[in-house]
Structure 1
Amino acid sequence: MAKGRKGPKGKKITLNVAKNCIKITFDGKKRLDLSKMGITTFPKCILRLSDVDELDLSRNLIRKIPDSIARFQNLQWLDLHSNYIDRLPTSLGQMTTLLYLNVSNNRLTTKGLPMELNQLKNIRTMNLGLNYLDSVPTTLGALKELHEVGLHDNLLNDIPTSIVQLPKLKKLNTKRNPFPKAEDADTFVDSIKRLENLHLVEEKDLCRPCLRRCQLAREKLNRIKSTVTATPRKALFSTLISPNSTAKESQEEWRLRSPPSSSSLWPNTETTQLTEAQL
């Protein structure tokens, strides 16, 4: 009989394995890509490669990120999505060079977000989607360089005004959260309406498929708005069975009463005018 399992051991990452996983990106950055390797524990050996610019540990089985991750003092891009992380280390706030942080699809709760995240003064993109957040720390409103924030697929009831009013925010994804209905939360709806002005991108910055997708989304939104705001028009000629039926009968009656002269091949000017008036 098989003995009880302690859980998956995961792939062992040695320093040599990690070195072989370093890639150079198209813009010359050093990226350590350890994604999709079945890692269950943060490999301490990679701390010796702390000079990399980007670190990808996504799509693994990692449950805890140690405070020692702050040794990556040059890190600009950190991807931890699709793991089992329920808490971020407070030392993350020391990584002030970070521009991109993705911790979506984990097990993060609001308590698992350290206040020290507000020290990431240069962060541009932060994805917290697909977690268990029931509120968003208002301290994230201190991140004035944020361009994109992902909060989709959480347990949120509202969005702090400090997040909505971030000066450089262009995209805020709040889809699939249990927000209150409009009739019960007018203030919340008003704040969300302001987000329309935040989806600002220039056409030259979009690839053709993305541009077309945006155009289709805008057309759909306009159709919905027109459906909601349009008031039913009053029907014209509501008493008529068919259009111009009364005018048609009057015209026939007039023709029977005033037949054209047999000596005349064409209707005179007066007859023409009367006929047009009757029509």
Structure 2
Amino acid sequence: MSENVACPGAVTAVKEIWEKRIKILNEDLKREKEFQQKLVRIWEERVTLTRLKEKVTRENGRLILKIEKEEWKTLPASLLKLNQLQEWQLHRTGLLKIPEFIGRFQSLIVLDLSRNTISEIPRGIGLLTRLQELILSYNKIKTVPKELGKCASLEKLELAVNRDIRDLPPELGGLCSLTHLDLSMNSFSAFPAAVLDMPALEWLDLGSNQLRQLPETIDRMQRLHTLWLQRNEITGLPESMSNMKNLGTLVLCNNQLPDIPAFMEEMTGLRFVNFRDNPLRLELTLPPSEGTEEEEEEEEERELFGLQFMHTYIQEARREADNPAGCLANPPVSVNPDA
């Protein structure tokens, strides 16, 4: 009885051939899968671009991309085909990030991405030299890149309600066209120095932060006409503030001011001030109005914590200083609005 004995060398050769064929087959399958995935991505990008094109409108001569309450966590690269857009308005879309290619939208004038979940501003933002308005309020931004200081045309910057912004890079002081800045509801514990260097600034909101004091050089903001400082921890005001001749609105409610400084009498440009909810040591009250309930409320807001209140408080504080013993026994002062 004879037995067929396989040659070991032949078995090895056959095995190598099959392994090579399997490897080639796997590589072909991988390439085919990648090709199919690429086709799917291309198709999805085309579908997405078609959806985006449907969101483009023309208003007042501007091409505007407008999306509201639709889920767009990311924006596709195919959006670059619409690089002539002049305005983005994307609100409540869940957008996680501003695309890195944002700098290629050289025609952008307004970028409004408020009420999303954006965590950072890309450095490419500095390439938008025509940008006039950047609105990023109600997001999750923690830091502001120095490149933003290169946006030479920027007039309006809103970063309110990001909660964790603590400072601004000094380069932002070079924003020579900026007139409107909203930094409210963040984590500023010190007045940002860059703001003092913004030569055109007219409107500033630093409310709902953690400010304890204002800089002695605050009067460098000579064009400022509106300053909101509500809900901070400010305990005093620098005398240099009296040099701010254009300041017309000053809101200081909900701070820790024990007094109204006498130098504020010199601020003749003031039209509206508010000292509500400060621990002022003197109590001043107005006599009741004879108007309707609504008119009474408006008068209280305007008078009790407004200019008349401020001037009367300063006068009463001066009288108290001149006659401290007599003032201790005096009841709260009633302000005569006709005086």
Q: 1:93-112 residue pairs with structure 2 within 5 A? A: 93-110=126-143
Q: Distance in 2 between matches of 1:51 and 1:72?
A: 7
Q: Is 1:115 the equivalent of 2:146?
A: yes
- The 5 A counterparts of 1:112-191 are 113-131=144-162, 132-180=164-212, 189=238
User: Percent identity between the aligned chains?
Assistant: 29
Check conservation: 1:94, 1:119, Cα contact below 8 A: yes
- CA shift, 1:178, in A, is 1.0
How far is the alpha carbon of 1:15 from its aligned partner? 1.4
- CA 1:136/1:95 → structure 2, altered by over 3 Å: closer, same or farther? same
| SS of match in other structure, 1:156 | coil
Q: Give the AA of the match of 2:142.
A: T
TM-score, normalised with respect to structure 1: 0.65
Alignment match, 1:40: 73
- Which structure has the higher relative contact order (CA within 8 Å, separation 6+)? 1
In 2: Cα distance, 1:109 partner to 1:59 partner: 19
Matched residue SS, 1:88: coil
CA contact (8 A) 1:15 1:45 kept: yes
CA separation of 1:89 and 1:162: change in aligned 2, threshold 3 A:
closer
CA contact (8 A) 2:89 2:113 kept: yes
Q: Does 1:226 align with 2:260?
A: no
Amino acid in structure 2 at the alignment position of 1:156: F
Deviation of 1:224 (Å): 3.9
Please tell me whether the aligned partners of residues 171 and 199 of structure 1 are also in contact (alpha carbons under 8 angstroms). no
Distance 1:48 1:159 in 2: 42
**Could you list the runs of 5+ residues in structure 1 that have no partner in the other structure?**
1-11, 201-214, 236-279
In the alignment, the residues of structure 2 paired with residue 59 and residue 77 of structure 1 have an alpha-carbon distance, to the nearest angstrom, of 17
Equivalence map 1:1-279=2 (5 Å): 14-25=48-59, 27-110=60-143, 113-131=144-162, 132-180=164-212, 189=238, 197-198=246-247, 220-231=305-316
Cα RMSD for the two superposed structures: 3.1
**1:195 Cα deviation (Å)?**
6.5
Deviation at 1:167, TM superposition (A): 2.1
Residue identity opposite 1:221 in structure 2: G
In structure 2, the CA distance between the partners of 1:138 and 1:196, relative to structure 1 (3 Å rule), is farther
Number of residue-to-residue matches in the alignment? 206
Could you tell me how far apart the structure 1 residues matched to 2:240 and 2:166 are?
Answer: 18
Contact 1:171 / 1:198 at 8 angstroms: preserved in 2?
no
SS in 2 for 1:14: helix
8 Å contact kept, 2:169–2:194: no
Q: Which runs of 5+ in 2 are unaligned?
A: 1-44, 215-232, 250-298, 327-339
Q: Which letter does structure 1 place at the counterpart of 2:62?
A: K
The aligned residue for residue 210 of structure 1 is: none
Residues 150-209 of structure 1, C-alpha deviation per residue, up to 9 Å, x if partnerless?
1000010222344135221110011111111689876x7457776773558xxxxxxxxx
Amino acid at match of 1:154: N
Change (3 A) 1:137 1:166: same
2:296 matched residue in structure 1: none
Residue deviations 1:205-250 (CA, integer Å, cap 9, x gap): xxxxxxxxxx998764314412431317689xxxxxxxxxxxxxxx
- Aligned 8 A contact 2:92 2:115 in 1: yes
Q: Which structure has the larger Rg?
A: 1
CA distance in 2, matches of 1:63, 1:191: 43
Which has the larger displacement, 42-51 or 67-76? Answer: 42-51
CA contact (8 A) 2:62 2:86 kept: yes
| Cα distance in structure 2, aligned partners of 1:194 and 1:150 | 23
Give the Cα separation in 2 of the matches to 1:222 and 1:85: 41
- AA of the residue aligned to 1:133: I
CA contact (8 A) 2:72 2:94 kept: yes
CA contact 1:82–1:105 (8 Å) conserved in 2 = yes
Secondary structure at the counterpart of residue 130 of structure 1: coil
| Inter-partner Cα distance in structure 2 for 1:64 and 1:168 | 30
CA distance in 1, matches of 2:146, 2:57: 33
